[in-house]
């Protein structure tokens, strides 16, 4: 800062009363100087009339010159004070102009603060709506879990629930994108007013944290939904594979049983691994599977003497039909037909 500016700043701190006192002091000094000049002239006249000594005359002249120089210095000081007074007036005007501009900037800043508050409230509303959407998605996820537990009996209903959840997910994604756009715009406004609105910035940061947590929770819920859907599809695939394997084994077993009609044990009997020892009349294979197709002799099984709970096959009982089975007491020693794994 230059020297002139420093003086302007110093003199701007002088109030109106002090300015008046400075001017008054300037005029009082001017009157004193005039009185001294008049007194010097009277002394010179007195010296001339009385014919005083030359040394005293030179002394008075020297004193008059010094007094004149003093007057010049006084006048110079007065002039400088007057110039500083004018500078003080100009500084006052500049200060008033700066005050007016600062008032206008304050009003503009207040308007910007109100607008930012409104936008903050809108973002809060969007955040509340996102919470509601999250709760709806969580409810749909719970319903989907229940449907998954009832997969074998409610596969069609699970498909409908999955489609509804997919629609809810798409809607939630759209809402999320809209909220992200609003959040980005709010961040730009917040950065412009960060210094003046610290409290509002704190609110925005808290809202940002809540939004991140809610997004993370939504992502976790969506991941759980995807994993549950994959698990359901895998279970369905395993079920279909096991059903196909069971049907194939049933066919193979039937083919083996039919092949027993042309065995090497001519006119002999053999156990075939079929029994109703647990429940009379309910025939099951040794692996626990139920009998689906039987090749019983006419009149069999008859549970003779209530003691025939195992099934035998005997090719000599029938030569023109595949029906060679009959029930017999389980304690009899005989050949047995077994299935071999290759």
At 250-274, the pLDDT tens digits run 676 666 555 554 474 444 788 999 9
pLDDT for 269: 83
Q: Is 298 helix (H, G, I), strand (E, B) or coil?
A: coil
Q: By CB neighbour count within 10 A (0-12 exposed, 13-18 middle, 19+ buried), where does 267 fall? A: exposed
Q: By CB neighbour count within 10 A (0-12 exposed, 13-18 middle, 19+ buried), where does 22 fall? A: middle
Tokens representing 192 are 């412009």
Tens of pLDDT along 242-253? Answer: 888 877 776 766
pLDDT for 58: 74
Tens of pLDDT along 168-209? Answer: 889 888 988 888 888 888 788 878 878 876 776 788 688 888
Average pLDDT, the chain: 78
pLDDT over 50 (residue 134): yes
Distances from the Cα of 118 to the Cα of 111, 216, 324, angstroms: 11, 27, 91
Lowest mean pLDDT among 2-6, 91-95, 186-190: 2-6
Distances from the Cα of 52 to the Cα of 42, 47, 58, 64, angstroms: 14, 5, 11, 17
CA distance 71 to 32: 9
Angle at 43 between CA 40 and CA 47, to 5 degrees: 140
């Amino acid at each position: 800062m230059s020297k002139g500016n420093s003086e302007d700043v110093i003199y701007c701190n002088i109030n109106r009363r002090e300015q008046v006192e400075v001017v008054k002091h300037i005029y009082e000094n001017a009157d004193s100087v005039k009185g001294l000049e008049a007194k010097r002239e009277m002394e010179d006249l007195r010296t001339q009339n009385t014919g005083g000594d030359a040394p005293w005359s030179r002394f008075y002249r020297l004193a008059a010159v010094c007094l004149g120089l003093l007057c010049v210095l006084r006048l110079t000081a007065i002039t400088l004070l007057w110039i500083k007074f004018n500078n003080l007036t100009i500084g006052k005007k500049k200060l008033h102009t700066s005050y007016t501009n600062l008032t206008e900037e304050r009003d503009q800043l207040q308007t910007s603060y109100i607008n930012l508050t409104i936008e903050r409230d809108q973002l809060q509303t969007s955040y509340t709506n996102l919470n509601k959407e999250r709760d709806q998605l969580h409810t749909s996820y719970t319903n989907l879990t229940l449907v998954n537990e009832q997969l074998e009996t409610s596969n069609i209903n699970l498909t409908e629930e999955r489609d509804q959840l997919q629609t809810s997910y798409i809607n939630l994604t759209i809402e999320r994108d809209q909220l992200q756009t609003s959040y980005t715009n709010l961040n730009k406004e917040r950065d412009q007013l960060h210094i003046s609105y610290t409290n509002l910035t704190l609110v925005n940061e808290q809202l940002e944290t809540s939004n991140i947590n809610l997004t993370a929770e939504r992502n976790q819920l969506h991941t759980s939904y995807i994993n549950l859907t994959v698990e359901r599809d895998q279970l369905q695939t395993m079920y279909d594979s096991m059903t196909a394997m069971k049907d194939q084994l049933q066919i193979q077993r039937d083919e083996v049983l039919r092949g027993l009609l042309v065995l090497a044990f001519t006119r002999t009997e053999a156990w075939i691994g079929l029994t109703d020892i647990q429940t009379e009349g309910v025939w099951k294979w040794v692996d626990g599977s139920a009998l689906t197709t039987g090749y019983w002799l006419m009149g069999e099984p008859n549970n003779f003497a209530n003691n025939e709970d195992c099934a035998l096959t005997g090719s000599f009982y029938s030569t023109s039909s595949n029906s060679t089975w009959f029930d017999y007491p389980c304690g009899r020693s005989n050949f047995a037909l077994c299935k071999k794994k290759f």
